[in-house]
């Protein structure tokens, strides 16, 4: 496997106020761990600097006035900062702009475009975009939840418009619902948006009856989960809902909104996944991409606010993309790993399969599941 790591130090220059969870150290830590493991020089890993997304590419999902507003505010903050003013300006709920925020944001949106070009030209098999600011809350004309431009949505639209793809799937396992991504493609049947998230939780959207509208009815799939659930629920949801919906949709490219804030030790999320659990879920996605779309897969960084988790989860995902199975899990399983949960995963899965008309649907393309292996995996990561 050849994997592109798409990263630029400009991402560290998008500043937020002290104690803000979405801070440059998140990516610094990921790079530090990759360096410590000596994985940046690994065979098969290609570092590609991201290009900037053009205004036209951004405008395929965002309003032009909004794009220019972000640029202008960043320029104003730069001028003020030069005169000794504040380095960051409050822009929208939880979302700040600093002098270099626009420069960082257009490269964060450009990173998955660089990835898609490299994959479609055969230069690499898959890619990890280590970017910030994150994107999945950003609406066409509104910043929110730490996000300025919707990186993954810009990428999906680009794959449709510039590479002529007809079906793109976005899998979002960030602990928050990607309301912006859902909104942008709500009526578009060419993009299947699948989100699993904590609920009730920020931003308040993502109910299971939000399924798309008009021509897009059925291409939005939401799996709201109560706080504290972990791999024992995520795994059947991934294997029996996400994978089957993906198989039916038959994507030509899979994008992942890779947020690690559903980790048990995340300061914002209250879920119970371990890094090994994230690894298993990511492996399911990688196998699916192999089966359905030649392995074409782009992971795009969203949340994840525990620095140790950021380091280990990013390294783990890159390891998996390169075709290795091992997870780098410094923190291990959560303290509640052995707890009995009141949520019955079987009932939940059956209900989701009913809502999304998957009842009776069998995977067309996937090999028969190895039940013994599944059992081992279900025990493995949380044991
Ligand atoms: Zn999040």
Q: What is the pLDDT of residues 348-358, one digit of tens each?
A: 999 999 999 99
pLDDT given at position 8? 98
**Spacing, Cα 175 to ligand 1 middle (Å):** 5
Q: Is 137 noted as a catalytic residue in this protein?
A: yes
Domain count of the fold of the chain: 1
Averaged pLDDT, 199-207: 98
Helices 275-293 + 307-321 axis angle, to 10: 30
Q: Where does the pLDDT of residue 372 fall: very low under 50, low under 70, confident under 90, or very high at 90 and above?
A: confident
For the chain, how long is the longest CA-to-CA vector? 66
Rounded (5°) CA angle 336-337-338: 95
Position 379 pLDDT exceeds 60: yes
**Spacing, Cα 80 to ligand 1 middle (Å):** 30
pTM of the model: 0.94
Position 340 pLDDT exceeds 80: no
Task: State pLDDT tens for residues 52-83.
Answer: 999 999 999 999 999 999 999 999 999 999 99
pLDDT given at position 9? 98
Q: Where does the pLDDT of residue 377 fall: very low under 50, low under 70, confident under 90, or very high at 90 and above?
A: low
Average pLDDT, the chain: 95
CATH number at residue 353: 3.40.800.20
Averaged pLDDT, 4-8: 98
Position 245 pLDDT exceeds 90: yes
Token pair in block for residue 328 = 């780098």
Task: State pLDDT tens for residues 146-170.
Answer: 999 999 999 999 999 999 999 999 9
72 near 132, Cβ under 8 Å?
no
Task: State pLDDT tens for residues 91-127.
Answer: 999 999 999 999 999 999 999 999 999 999 999 999 9
> What is the residue range of 244's domain?
3-379
Q: Where does the pLDDT of residue 383 fall: very low under 50, low under 70, confident under 90, or very high at 90 and above?
A: very low
Q: Which residues contact 127 (CB under 8 A, 6 or more apart)?
A: 3, 4, 5, 6, 48, 112, 115, 118, 119, 297, 298, 299, 321
Position 34 pLDDT exceeds 60: yes
**Spacing, Cα 59 to ligand 1 middle (Å):** 24
**Spacing, Cα 361 to ligand 1 middle (Å):** 31
pLDDT given at position 335? 79
Task: State pLDDT tens for residues 313-333.
Answer: 999 999 999 999 889 988 999
Token pair in block for residue 127 = 């890619």
Exactly one of 14, 62, 136, 137 is catalytic; which is it?
A: 137
**Spacing, Cα 372 to ligand 1 middle (Å):** 33
Helices (H), the chain: 25-36, 55-59, 64-82, 101-120, 151-163, 179-184, 231-237, 243-249, 275-293, 307-321, 345-355, 371-379
Position 338 pLDDT exceeds 60: no
**Spacing, Cα 174 to ligand 1 middle (Å):** 5
Q: Where does the pLDDT of residue 378 fall: very low under 50, low under 70, confident under 90, or very high at 90 and above?
A: low
Averaged pLDDT, 237-264: 98
Q: Which of 229-233, 276-280, 359-363 has the lowest mean pLDDT?
A: 359-363
Task: State pLDDT tens for residues 299-315.
Answer: 999 999 999 999 999 99
Q: Which residue has the higher pLDDT, 370 or 88?
A: 88
> Percent of the chain, pLDDT > 70?
94
pLDDT given at position 105? 98
109 near 22, Cβ under 8 Å?
no
125 near 3, Cβ under 8 Å?
yes
């Amino acid at each position: 496997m050849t994997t592109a790591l798409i990263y630029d130090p400009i991402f560290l220059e998008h500043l937020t106020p002290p104690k803000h969870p979405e801070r440059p150290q998140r990516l610094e830590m990921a790079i530090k761990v990759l360096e410590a493991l000596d994985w940046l020089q690994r065979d098969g890993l290609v570092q590609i600097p991201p290009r900037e997304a053009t205004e036209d590419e951004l405008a395929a999902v965002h309003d032009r006035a909004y794009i220019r507003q972000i640029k202008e505010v960043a320029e104003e903050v730069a001028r003020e900062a030069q005169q000794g003013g504040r380095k960051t300006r409050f822009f929208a709920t939880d979302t700040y702009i600093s002098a270099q925020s626009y420069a960082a944001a257009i490269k964060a949106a450009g990173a998955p475009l660089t990835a898609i070009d490299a994959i479609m030209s055969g230069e690499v098999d898959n890619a990890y975009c280590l970017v910030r600011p994150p994107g999945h809350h950003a609406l066409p004309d509104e910043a929110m939840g730490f996000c300025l431009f919707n990186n993954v949505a810009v990428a999906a639209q680009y794959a449709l418009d510039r590479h002529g793809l007809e079906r793109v799937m976005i899998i979002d396992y960030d602990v928050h619902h990607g309301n912006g991504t859902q909104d942008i493609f709500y009526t578009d049947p060419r993009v299947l948006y699948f989100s699993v998230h904590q609920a009730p939780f920020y931003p308040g959207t993502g109910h299971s009856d939000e399924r798309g509208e008009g021509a897009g009815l059925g291409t939005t799939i939401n799996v709201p989960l109560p706080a504290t659930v972990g791999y024992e629920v995520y795994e059947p949801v991934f294997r029996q809902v996400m994978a089957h919906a993906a198989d039916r949709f038959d994507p030509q490219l899979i994008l992942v909104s890779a947020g690690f804030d559903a980790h048990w030790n995340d300061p914002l999320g209250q879920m119970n996944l371990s890094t090994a659990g994230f690894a298993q879920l990511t492996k399911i996605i990688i196998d699916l991409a192999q089966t359905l779309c030649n392995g074409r897969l782009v992971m795009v960084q969203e949340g994840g606010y525990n620095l140790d988790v950021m380091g280990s989860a990013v390294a783990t995902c890159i390891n998996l993309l390169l075709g290795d199975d091992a997870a780098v899990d410094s923190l291990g399983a959560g303290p509640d790993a052995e707890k009995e949960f009141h949520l019955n995963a079987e009932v939940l899965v059956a209900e989701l399969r009913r809502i999304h008309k998957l009842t009776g649907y069998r995977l067309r393309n996937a090999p028969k599941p190895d039940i013994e292996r599944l059992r081992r995996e279900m025990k493995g990561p949380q044991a």
